Amino acid sequence: MRVMTHAQRSALHRWTRHEYDRLIDHGFLDEDDPIELLDGLLLVKEPQASPHRTAVLLVAKALERAFGEGWFVQTQSPIILDERSEPEPDVCVIRGSPRDYVDAHPTRPALVVEVAQSGLARARGRKAAAYARAQIADYWIVNLVDRVLEVHREPARPGPARARWGYAAIETLGADASITPLAAPSAAIRVAELLP
């Protein structure tokens, strides 16, 4: 039996956005592949089961009504967080119009929403850390397992209270509650409207 030395073991490669784009340009990945770049890792996105897809559509519709003119809502499309993260959140709200982003993906969404069932641990962990590090002030998780909305606010850096980036304020709201997006203070959205 051959024993591998530490130097022979394969190392984890962290991809940059430039390298990720080259993989797509050269046909190794297709733009429609269910993969996103997060913290330099190529991650398979949560499957689009019927409840997940329905929730994405409900969230997008509710946010379009809440934000109105001067904003647009995109679903499952890339945003740029930093040099190693180009996730495709289920829903996000961007200032301006789609034509403002012809040359580059949006970088500063006002609100990011992930719909999670099998990917709930990733939404609460790796994704929350990446969004907090990028200073996304309003991050919501539509938790299909418990049928609640988890609202993450106040991005917080690692320190004595936490090992990695995260959110200092996390609130869980049931279907009968309402939520007001930080960037749309006059809007109130019933959580029940977001759930399939």
What is the percentage of the chain residues whose pLDDT exceeds 70? 91
Strand arrangement, sheet containing 138-143: 71-75, 91-95, 111-116, 138-143, 148-156, 166-173
At 103-145, the pLDDT tens digits run: 889 989 999 999 999 899 999 999 999 999 999 999 999 999 9
pTM of the complete model beyond 0.85: no
C-alpha closest to that of 141 among 121, 165, 168, 164: 121
CATH class of residue range 46-194? alpha beta
* CA 42 – CA 191 distance, rounded (Å): 31
pLDDT confidence bin for 2, thresholds 50/70/90: low
Per-residue b/e over 21-49, b at no fewer than 16 CB within 10 Å? eebeeeeebeeeeebbbbbbeebebbeee
* CA 89 – CA 68 distance, rounded (Å): 20
Burial class (CB in 10 A: 0-12, 13-18, 19+), 96: exposed
At 165-175, the pLDDT tens digits run: 999 999 999 99
pLDDT confidence bin for 181, thresholds 50/70/90: very high
* CA 186 – CA 56 distance, rounded (Å): 23
At 70-90, the pLDDT tens digits run: 999 999 999 999 888 889 999
* CA 181 – CA 146 distance, rounded (Å): 21
